[in-house]
């Protein structure tokens, strides 16, 4: 298990043990090192005493060359098991007598200076034999350090056992003491996990102390209080907002219905007077033309043109109103066939025009055929109108698939428009060209946008002045607005 995934109580225990073990190891090594030095110092002192005594006993025998006495002196070291070799030399450095526990051990040729020296496995002592302050020979003793090795091994084993017992005791104590820190944190974690799971912000963690952990628990509970108060306020605001939205929705629907009814009524009621104005003006022109001068004739023609223009505007407003109130009937629609029919009607109305028409065949969709016909009539009609000043116009209808969505388009090579006015394109009564350039009511694209909206789709345009326009739209087959009802 990674350190970051380990429970905090295990981390506390391991940190305590790790620190304690390091301390125990350092102290144990220090004791062992000190014991080694102490034992060697004691051994050196003992060997110096033994060497001094033996040298004093051997000076007379060495003066009289009493080899038997000298041999007895070195043999007396047999009682000391650690001494493996002992030799007595005369003043010329020749060995006179020796003691060896093994046959392969021989007296060194040069016993060295008067000193004690430790090597890896032995202690070497060279002691001068003196008489009246004059050196008459030397005593050499070699002692094995096996006793030291055994002593240190026992000492290390004892230290290891004691250390293990101490570690076990520390493990037990740290297991109990870590609960003072870990238990409040574990309870806090459990409370936070439960709150996250059940989303109940009324739960609180129990504060068991006044230290930093207790302060953390207190801050956590304070945060929960704040969240609970904020949630209550949000819920209250949401309930009020729902009521306000419901009220505003009812008011908006009522206002929309009244506005639609008013618009429909005004548009419908204005048609009759306009027809009368246009009809009587036409009658005056036909029946009384010989009695009218040129100025009167011009005035009557202007009246007729204005009334006809107003009639077209009213028809567009009625179409927009009907599109909004129309009951949607969704079925499979062949858009390619609809577009072809629209082009046939436009070509029949203006047979003198030469327009290259490109229609992608068999483009099917799900929607209301009448509403889609209105939208396509406006889009194709716009393309037809704004390309009318070209000797060879081109209008294209097709579809592309992008990111799992089918996008239909109507493209032309006509007048185009500046994209900085694109946000006004689908707003009623907003026109990007003057009536002197191209006639229009400013309602056609607003009607198209309303139809696309009722089919839960999107519409947008791309264009450059003088380079034509491209209108793109999507239709959501699965979410056609078939639940809205109204009169045809």
SS (H, E, C) 126-193: EEEEEECCEEEEEEEEEEECHHHHHHHHHHHHHHHHHHHHHHHHHHHHHHHHHHHHHHHHHHHHHHHH
SS3 30: helix
Which CATH number is correct for 3-168, 3.40.50.300, 3.90.25.10, 3.30.750.24, 3.30.450.20? 3.30.450.20
Q: Residue 406 pairs with which residues in a beta bridge?
A: 401
3-state SS, residue 414: coil
* H or E stretch covering 387: none
Coil, helix or strand at residue 280: helix
Length of the chain: 488
Sole residue written with tokens 């209301």: 368
Write down the residue that tokens 């090594």 correspond to.
29
What are the residues facing 472 on neighbouring strands?
409, 460
- Determine the Cα–Cα distance for residues 415 and 406; give it in Å rounded to an integer: 27
Statement: the pTM of the whole predicted model exceeds 0.75: no
Selection from 409, 393, 390 nearest residue 401 by Cα: 409
Residue 428 near residue 320 (C-beta atoms within 8 A) = yes
- Write the CA distances from 142 to 43, 99, 125, 255, integer angstroms: 12, 10, 6, 121
Determine the longest span between alpha carbons in the chain, in angstroms.
Answer: 186
**Residue 169: exposure state from Cβ atoms within 10 A (0-12, 13-18, ≥19):** exposed
Instruction: State residue 431's pLDDT score.
Output: 64
- Enumerate residues 6+ apart whose C-beta is below 8 A from 232: none
For 210, the enclosing helix (H) or strand (E) is none
391 contacts: CB under 8 Å, gap ≥ 6: 354
Q: Give the rounded distance of the alpha carbon of 337 from its chain centre.
A: 51
Cβ(31)–Cβ(102) under 8 Å? no
3-class secondary-structure state, position 21:
helix
Burial (0-12, 13-18, 19+ Cβ within 10 Å), 323: buried
For residue 439, give the nearest of 395, 392, 389 by alpha carbon: 389
Q: Which residues of 27-65 are buried (b: 16+ CB within 10 A; e: fewer)?
A: ebeeeeeebeeebeeebbeebeebbeebbebbbebbeee
Torsion from C-alpha of 302, 303, 306, 310, nearest 10 degrees: -170
* Domain 328-479, second-level architecture: 2-Layer Sandwich (3.30)
Q: Is 422 exposed, middle or buried (0-12, 13-18, 19+ CB in 10 A)?
A: middle
- 288 Cβ contact partners less than 8 Å away, ≥ 6 residues apart: none
pLDDT one digit per residue (tens) for the chain, 488 residues: 676 666 776 777 778 778 888 888 898 899 889 988 898 888 888 888 998 998 888 888 888 888 899 899 888 888 888 898 999 988 888 888 889 988 888 888 877 666 788 888 888 888 888 888 888 889 999 898 888 888 888 989 998 898 888 888 888 887 777 677 767 777 778 888 888 888 787 778 777 777 777 788 788 788 888 888 888 888 889 889 988 988 888 878 776 676 666 666 665 666 677 677 777 777 777 777 777 788 887 877 788 777 766 666 666 666 666 666 667 788 899 999 999 999 999 998 888 888 899 999 999 999 888 889 888 988 998 899 888 888 889 999 999 999 888 999 999 998 888 888 778 777 766 666 656 566 656 677 888 888 888 888 999 999 888 888 999 999 985 444 544 444 33
Q: Output the six-digit token pair for 426.
A: 């689908």
């Amino acid at each position: 298990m990674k350190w970051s995934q380990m429970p905090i109580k295990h981390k506390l225990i391991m940190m305590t043990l790790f620190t304690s073990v390091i301390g125990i190891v350092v102290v144990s090594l220090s004791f062992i090192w000190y014991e080694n030095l102490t034992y060697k110092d004691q051994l050196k002192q003992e060997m110096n005493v033994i060497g001094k005594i033996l040298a004093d006993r051997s000076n007379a025998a060495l003066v009289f060359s009493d080899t038997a006495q000298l041999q007895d002196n070195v043999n007396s070291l047999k009682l000391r098991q650690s001494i493996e070799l002992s030799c007595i030399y005369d003043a010329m450095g020749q060995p006179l007598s020796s003691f060896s526990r093994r046959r392969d051990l021989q007296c060194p040729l040069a016993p060295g200076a008067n000193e004690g020296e430790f090597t890896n496995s032995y202690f070497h002592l060279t002691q001068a034999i003196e008489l009246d302050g004059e050196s008459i020979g030397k005593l050499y003793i070699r002692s094995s350090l096996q006793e030291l090795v055994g002593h240190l091994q026992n000492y290390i084993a004892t230290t290891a056992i004691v250390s293990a017992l101490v570690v076990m005791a520390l493990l037990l104590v740290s297991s109990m003491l870590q609960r003072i820190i870990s238990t409040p944190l574990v309870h806090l974690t459990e409370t936070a996990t439960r709150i996250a799971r059940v989303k109940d912000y009324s739960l609180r963690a129990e504060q068991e102390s006044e230290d930093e952990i207790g302060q953390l628990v207190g801050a956590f509970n304070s945060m929960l209080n704040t969240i609970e108060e904020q949630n209550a306020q949000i819920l209250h605001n949401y309930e009020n907002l729902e009521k306000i939205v419901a009220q505003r929705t009812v008011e908006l629907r009522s206002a929309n219905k009244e506005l639609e009814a008013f618009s429909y009524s005004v548009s419908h009621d204005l048609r009759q007077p306009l027809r009368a104005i246009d009809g009587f003006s036409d009658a005056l022109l036909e029946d009384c033309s010989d009695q009218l001068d040129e100025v009167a004739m011009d005035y009557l023609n202007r009246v007729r043109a204005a009334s006809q223009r107003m009639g077209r505007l009213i028809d567009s407003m009625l179409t927009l109103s009907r599109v909004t109130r129309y009951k949607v009937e969704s079925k499979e629609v062949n858009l390619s066939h609809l577009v072809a029919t629209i082009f046939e009607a436009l070509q029949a109305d203006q047979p003198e025009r030469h327009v290259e028409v490109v229609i992608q065949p068999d483009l099917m969709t799900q929607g209301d055929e009448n509403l889609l016909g209105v939208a396509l009539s406006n889009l194709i009609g716009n393309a037809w109108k704004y390309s009318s000043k070209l000797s060879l116009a081109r209008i294209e209808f097709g579809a592309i698939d992008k990111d799992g969505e089918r996008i239909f388009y109507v493209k032309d090579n006509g007048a185009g428009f500046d994209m900085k006015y694109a946000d006004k394109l689908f707003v009623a009564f907003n026109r990007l060209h003057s009536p002197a350039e191209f006639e229009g009511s400013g309602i056609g694209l607003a009607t198209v946008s309303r139809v696309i909206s009722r089919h839960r789709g999107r519409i947008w345009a791309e264009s450059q002045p003088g380079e034509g326009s491209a209108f793109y739209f999507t239709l959501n087959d699965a979410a056609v607005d078939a639940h809205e009802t109204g009169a045809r």
